[in-house]
Every structure is written in structure tokens, then in C-alpha cells.
Structure 1
Amino acid sequence: MRTANRSDIGRIRLVNEDRAWVGQLENGITVAIVADGMGGHQAGDVASQLAVDTFRESLRDYKDPLDPEQAKTLIRQAILQANEIVYEMASQNDRYHNMGTTVVAAMLFEGSGIIGHIGDSRAYRLHDGRLRLLTEDHTLVNELAKSGQISAEEAANHPRRNVLTRALGTDRHVEVDVKGFAWTPGDMLLLCSDGLYSMVGEDEMLAALLDAEPNLDGKAERLIELALHAGGDDNVTVLLIDHAAGDEEEVIG
């Protein structure tokens, strides 16, 4: 599998509170995570970095083979451990009070994948020329749209569209959404913060991913450029994984 990981501070923010990482376990499973931090006094970047580091460390020594159900348990446990660590730091340090982060993570096998997420960072799967959203935003506006109180168009432009109903690190206990999906040769996985999809429509994202000219790094850079060109109102992070033969990822060590 080939991977590309790009992040940009955007045109408005003073600090990049997004963090991302992709690597490979010793058992050959590819693992990736994107976190979008929140909190004043630069606490957001602390929360997102801590979540990524904890997630990574919790998987460091795992070498045994995994079936999909075991993978679901493992990714949930890794995210919950990150929640515990971020929550404890926020509780013990006034500077970090109420800090938190979104998180979307993936574990990829040869024929299947697992997504775990909290918040509004997203995962998309490109398959047979179509881009499909794999996650469901944990936001107030999404809840209103699901209940029929507002339309999809109203949701896209709602002034409170960034209000989260669930985040990592803000509460001692949190629910992690975990789901499996098919992962076949030729597929591509996109993990991203809301700085991408809030500025770039899915049609534009699809066109950038399907463009045969740039390599995977070029596709990631193109997506960042589209978000910046549209205004760059937020930090923007793009992590791409291509189900094709290529360079080996970093092995967790």
C-alpha cells in the first residue's frame, strides 16, 4: 500500500491543531489516524498530538495476527486509551481545561478495513470511480438533519455546524463508532479533518483523486490546494492510502 500525509495551517488560524500519522504494525497491518484538536491557549494541538501518540504507542507491541472482530476491539481500545490520557491531562492542568480532539483511525488488511472515529473528522473510500463517506459526523447539525429538523442544504451552511456532540478527551467516558468496510485492490482511503470537506465539495475531491497525472503525494497536495483556494478557513489535513503495491510504510518501533 502507498500512503501520503499532508497538513497545512490554512489561511486564518495561527496554530495548526491537526495531527496525523500512518504506519505499519509488525504483523503487516497498515494503521492510520487523523486528529483535529480544540481548546484555547494552544491546548488543541496538545490534545491532538497526545491522542495520536497514545494511539500509536498502544499498538506498538502488537504482533499477533488479527481477524476483523479482533481489529474492531483493538482500534476501539486504542482510541479509548487516548481518550483517558487526554482527559486526565485536561483535568489536572488548568491550562488544558476542556481541551479535546476529533479522531478518525483506520486499520487495513488485504481485503477489509476497520474505521474507528469520534467527532467530525471523516473517512472516505474511493471504489470504482465513486467516493463514499464511511463515517457519520458527531455534530449538532448532523443530529438536526437526521431528525428532519433541517435540510441537507441548511446543514451545510448552518452557523453551528462545527458544534460537536462527541469528542475525544472532553469526558471520562466516550463512545467510539467502529465499522468494517471492504478494501480491494484499486481502492483508495481518504482520512481528513473538516478543514478539507468544509471547503471542498465531494465532486472536487473525487476529481482530484481520479486525476491520473499526479502521484499519491500530488493528489494529497492538490486537495490541500483546493481547500486553501476556497478560503483556507481552518487547518486542513489529508491522509491518503492507496491499495496498490508500493513503498513500505514506517513500521512502528
Structure 2
Amino acid sequence: DLAGPLLAALFRMLFRKLTKDVYRHLQKCVETGKPFNLNTAVKSNTITNGLKYSLATGNWGDQKKAMQAKAGVSQVLNRYTFASTLSHLRRCNTPIGRDGKIAKPRQLHNTHWGMVCPAQTPDGQACGAVSNLALMAYISVGSPSAPIVEFLLGWGMGKLEEFSSQMMRGTKGVFRDPCAVMCTPSCPQLVHRRHFAPSMMQLSECVDRPHMMSTEIKMTEVVAEEQADTSATVKANTGMNTHTWTHCEIHPSMILGICASIIPFPDHNQ
């Protein structure tokens, strides 16, 4: 879970608690016949105290339900050195039990290439459960979905309300967040046309990293889910056939994290 969705979920819970308090105060005023005053009904410290409690203690949730809240969500930022601060900001924590001896969740998966540092992980119980992002990896922020709908409509897609029940036979639905908004008669053409989408359109909360295109000299972003559909080479020679691969790595050292990349001669034995 990222910081944005966690703060949004916490604010949603506190705002729902605030509306319930206003409802109880309004119901009490109706039963007793007293005039309703919004200034006394709204407790201004409900949201502020809830956010301060979660950020100070790390227990993410309601203060009265501390047993059900997530522990250790917020941590004190490491300020020993500048490199340790950057490394702490790019740390990933896998929510698994630290006491067990299960090795599979701790091992580095092959889809983590270029996304997670293969060397930087703590010793002991947290080995493999705590990792760091690679140098070029970053979390995408996301973009509005309205330009994507306009882009698809320009390629001949039709809106869902324009199709009758007979016209929808043999067509495939196109979903957006997660509602069906359009229909298309040809899925392969739609999958092929996604490469022509503007580069500013991106999904939120996805791990992206830049690549070099094999056809022309330009940078492109590859999402973690798209990495399985692309063929990348680490070091492109001049005599290699470009038809066998689609993307090229910027440099092999970009798979390392911040602290692992500052080690002198990391590719040599100790």
C-alpha cells in the first residue's frame, strides 16, 4: 500500500466518523426540541487528532480499535546520511510473518528485474521481506481517464449507450475504473493501438522504469505488467538483429538500489 491510498482510507474513516457524530447530534436536537447549531455539532478535532495519532504511533486506524489497526505503517525517517535517507524513502515492506521459515516469499522473483534491488536487503528475520526499489524504478502517479476515452473514441470505438442488444453481439466490452464504457468489435486491433496512446497517460500505483526502444532512439516507460510482454536485452551490440528484441536496457547497473550502487566494484568478488 502506498502513502496516498493509506491517507485516503484513513481520512475516509475519520470523515465517516464525523458525519455520524453530526447525525447523532441532529437526532438529539430533534428529540429534545433544541435548535440545531452546526458549530457545536461538528467537532473540529476529530480528523486532526485521528491523523496525528496514526502518524505519531504508526497504528493505522481508529484509536479506539487499536487491536484491529495496522502497526508500523508510519516510521521515523532515517537521517544518518543522505544515502540512507533516500534508501529509506524507497523501501518496500512485504506484509508476511517474520517468524516463519518460508523461503518462497523471501526470494527474488524474475519479474522483479529492474524493479527491485537484488542485493540490498537486511539480515535476519527481515531478509527478503524488506527490499528497495532500483535506481530507475518509480511509482506512477496516474492521470485522468477522460483523455483515454477520447483517444479510444478517435480510433473508432463506440460508447456503450449507443449500442443496441443486437449490435453488442460479437463485440467486446472496454472497462474503465472498473465500469464498462465502450465496445469494440476487434480486440487485437485495440491491443495494437495502445502503443499509439499519448505518453502522458499512465496508470496509478504502478512500478515503471525507462527503456530504450530498439526501433528508434527514444525513451519509453514500461510498467511491471507490460514487462512480461516485452523482450529486452541488457547490452545491445551493433551486429545484433533488432527483430529479436523490442527494448534495450539503459545500463546493467540500473538494476541495483541506491546503497548497493555506491559500492566500489560491486561486480567483483569480495
Normalised to the residue count of structure 1, the TM-score between the two structures is 0.23
Q: Which has the higher helix share?
A: 2
Kindly indicate whether structure 1 or structure 2 has the higher relative contact order, using CA contacts under 8 Å at least 6 residues apart: 1
Task: Return the index of the structure with the highest Cα Rg.
Answer: 2
**TM-score, structure 2 normalization:** 0.22
Query: Which has the larger share of strand?
Result: 1
